[in-house]
Amino acid sequence: MKKRPIKYAELQIESIGLEGVAVSRLEDKVHFVKGAVPGDKVIARVLKSKSRFAECRVEKILEKSEHRIEPECIYFGNCGGCTWQMLDYDEQVKWKRQNVIDSFERIGKINVPIYHPTA
**pLDDT tens, residue by residue, 98-111:** 999 989 998 899 98
pTM over 0.95? The answer is no
Q: Position 33: which residue type? A: V
What is the rounded average pLDDT of the residues 86-95? Answer: 92
d(C-alpha 12, C-alpha 37), whole Å = 10
CB atoms within 10 A of CB 84: 17
- In terms of DSSP bridges, do strands 53-63 and 29-34 run parallel, antiparallel, or are they unpaired? parallel
Q: In the predicted model, is pLDDT for residue 34 greater than 90?
A: yes
Q: Please, are residues 37 and 22 in contact by the beta-carbon 8 Å criterion? A: yes
Quickly list H helices, the chain.
89-102
Q: Position 5: which residue type? A: P
